[in-house]
Amino acid sequence: MSLKQKLVLLFLSILSIVNTDLTGQSVSDSSGYIVDIEHFTTLDGLSNRTVGCVFQDREDMMWIGTANGLNRFDGYHFKHWLGKNHGVDLRYILGITQDAEGWLWILTDKTIFLFNPTTEEFQTLAEKFGKDCILLKKNIYNCLVDNQGSIFLSTFDKSADRDLDSHYASDKDIYRYSLVEGLKEIKRPTELEHKSIYIKHLSLIHISEPT
């Protein structure tokens, strides 16, 4: 089985969207190609059974964020980084994306940090942007990337007592990080119109590149 096939099947197995009738069976995809389903669990090296997100990077590595640990799967083996052993809190990972420089942006229930998949170096926001970084005063609840590798962060003030399920993004702050401009707050809607980016709800940023 090829690496790509294994990564696809890992994705399906982790998200539990494979039909239960297919468990342990050989199945065919829409093209009629026969594949064998392989399931991966903590017994195979996954750090935790509670998975918050799955992301495939530019090198076709699969990254899995869990309730305890960041996991990398190369199609054959898992490697994981756990707990607070690397200067960052690797618990309750909710989202992973990759910027133009190749860094992974890893969103947790507490903050966001960066990870270089080549050097295996972690960076906190303070290390990346300095101790006066405005993001240190924000709760970050979403992180997405556009086709140019620019990162978009949805935030609100940590001092604000707000219900995430009942407030809309019109009174929240959005920040963009790009290699050229660095980190900057962007204003709606003028700076977003050229990318057709719009905010639908508090926890969602939708990015639609012009065709």
DSSP 140-178: EEEEEE-TT--EEEEEEETT----TTT--GGGSEEEEEE
Is residue 35 exposed (0-12), middle (13-18) or buried (19+ Cβ within 10 Å)?
middle
For 62-102, what is each residue's pLDDT tens digit? 999 999 999 999 988 899 998 777 788 999 999 999 999 99
Dihedral angle over CA of 186, 201, 148, 72, nearest 10:
120
For 4-29, what is each residue's pLDDT tens digit? 545 555 554 554 433 333 233 444 44
Gyration radius (Cα) of the chain, Å: 19
For 161-175, what is each residue's pLDDT tens digit? 555 444 444 457 889
Note the pLDDT of residue 19: 35
127/203: higher pLDDT: 127
Note the pLDDT of residue 4: 53
DSSP 32: -
